[in-house]
Structures are given as C-alpha cells and as structure tokens.
Amino acid sequence: GAVVSQHPSRVICKSGTSVKIECRSLDFQATTMFWYRQFPKQSLMLMATSNEGSKATYEQGVEKDKFLINHASLTLSTLTVTSAHPEDSSFYICSARSPYILDEQFFGPGTRLTVL
C-alpha cells in the first residue's frame, strides 16, 4: 500500500516549451502533496506544498508563475514547468501525505527533466 507514481519518469524538451509532470497516489487519498527538486549529489529542496482544492504554498525563491502546481483531486497533483530553460533541468520528486497513514510522506520515483 501507499504507492505514489510519477509520470513521465524522464522527459526531454526544447527551451521555451512547457512540461507537465503528474503525481498520483494510487491506493490512498493524499490531503497534502509536496514537490521537491534535487540537484546531483544534493539533498531535496522543497519547492511547494499543495493541499487538495486550494492554492499551493511556494517556498521562498521558487517562482510560482514558472512552476505551476495544481492539486485538483485527492489523488492527483501536477507540476507544470512553463517556458522551460536549460537551468530548469533537474530531478523532480513528489511526495504525498495522508493523515490516516502514520502521518508519513510517501515518495514518487521522480522525474528527470532535461531542457535542451
């Protein structure tokens, strides 16, 4: 139980295009989802916290117009990188939390984004 999926696992796009990454909780309802960015050999950097049905809360320094987060249902959150540039290339990880499952975060497998 408590599985989180991400799609796609890997995406390559041209500079200036937008890319959408999906995060789904497969067997539980996630009241809160988190989006992280991870640079090579570094720790996870929290980008934003999203609660179902409300606007995401972005961490300081994260451009909300560039990284659009939608949490429209209890099992799906999306991260859209708008007008992507090479510096947006990174590994993006989502996690989902249910207050009914040990108050724990469950992680997706991550998405590697490469912007050419």
Partner 1 sequence: AQTVTQSQPEMSVQEAETVTLSCTYDTSESDYYLFWYKQPPSRQMILVIRQEAYKQQNATENRFSVNFQKAAKSFSLKISDSQLGDAAMYFCALHRDSNYQLIWGAGTKLIIKP
Nearer to partner 1, 82 or 107 (CB): 107
d(CA 92, CA 31): 20
Residues 30, 74 contacting (CB under 8 angstroms):
yes
Q: Which of 43, 54, 60, 100 binds partner 1 (CB under 8 A)?
A: 43
User: Does residue 107 touch partner 1 according to CB under 8 A?
Assistant: yes
User: Does residue 110 touch partner 1 according to CB under 8 A?
Assistant: yes
The phi and psi torsions of 45 (rounded to 5 degrees) equal -115, 115
Q: Which of 11, 13, 44, 68 binds partner 1 (CB under 8 A)?
A: 44
Nearest approach, Cβ of residue 6 and partner 1 (Å): 10
Nearer to partner 1, 17 or 59 (CB): 59
Nearer to partner 1, 82 or 112 (CB): 112
For residues 19-31, b (16+ Cβ closer than 10 Å) or e, as one string? bebbbbbeebebb
Tokens at 27, concatenated: 């067997």
